[in-house]
Amino acid sequence: MKILLPPSETKRPGGTGAPLRLDELALPALQPQREQVVDALVALAADPDAARRVLKLSERQLGDIENNRMLRTAPTMPAVDRYTGVLYDALGAADLDGAARRWLGGHVLIHSAPLGPVGALDGIPAYRLAAGTSLPGLASLRRLWAEATAGTLEDEGFLLDLRSEAYVALGPVAQSGASAYVRVVTGTGRALNHFNKKSKGELVRLLAQTRPRISGVPSLLRWADEHGVVLRHAAEQNELELVVEG
């Protein structure tokens, strides 16, 4: 099983890892797309006014232009530690034990806009780029990433998709028994926004702590039942509902 997570707009600064090595990231077949986007971001950062306009930055976000300029030379940290915010706070990767973190490294892909899906323990620098941004000189991120990413993900076995719809568009998953998209709802089926990210982070944390062998939806539902997690089939094919109080 591979779990697909969205990134976060907020990121932890700094790092102690070696600079970004695109050839060492998960899903190496995506290196051509990664090279194009990284080069475009670095080039854009050379013009701060244009970068601010294209990336839609506020005054307090202008430091992100420098982060983009230094993409190839800045220190890195594991992707699961780089991202902050509700989902990643709930996941709490930093205080998981070594076995749980290794499980994350083998089973979690975080879908970055400039790098595509990267492994949870892949070293990445701080950056600024949203899924819907159009970079000068490049096709839209959707056109650049979608086909290549979808084709690469086909080889990853059962996929549990916890991404937001903006990132699903950058790498659609085949609608088959080899994948399941998760929505967070109340017991009555009402979709939730406030608890959406938190609940997904808690789900991944529990999976990392218990480290089950999941080969598809049936074994995932059995695991959920054993651990008090309410997962159920949704009306839409290949969708599951994660039921929480709300």
The structure's pTM equals 0.95
What percentage of the chain has pLDDT greater than the value 90?
91
* DSSP H helices in 63-164: 63-69, 79-82, 86-91, 98-107, 141-153
What tens digit of pLDDT does each residue of 216-229 get?
Answer: 999 999 999 999 99
Q: Would you say residue 127 has pLDDT above 70? A: yes
Domain range annotation of the chain = 2-243
Mean pLDDT of 30-42: 98
Please give the C-alpha separations between residue 185 and each of 146, 170, 230, 233, in angstroms, as whole numbers. 27, 24, 10, 12
Mean pLDDT of 100-117: 98
Pairing status of strand 239-243 against strand 231-233: antiparallel
- Of 192 and 6, the structure prediction assigns the larger pLDDT to 6
pLDDT at 190: 73
Q: Which residue has the tokens 């290549």?
A: 148
Average pLDDT, the chain: 95
Mean pLDDT of 162-189: 88
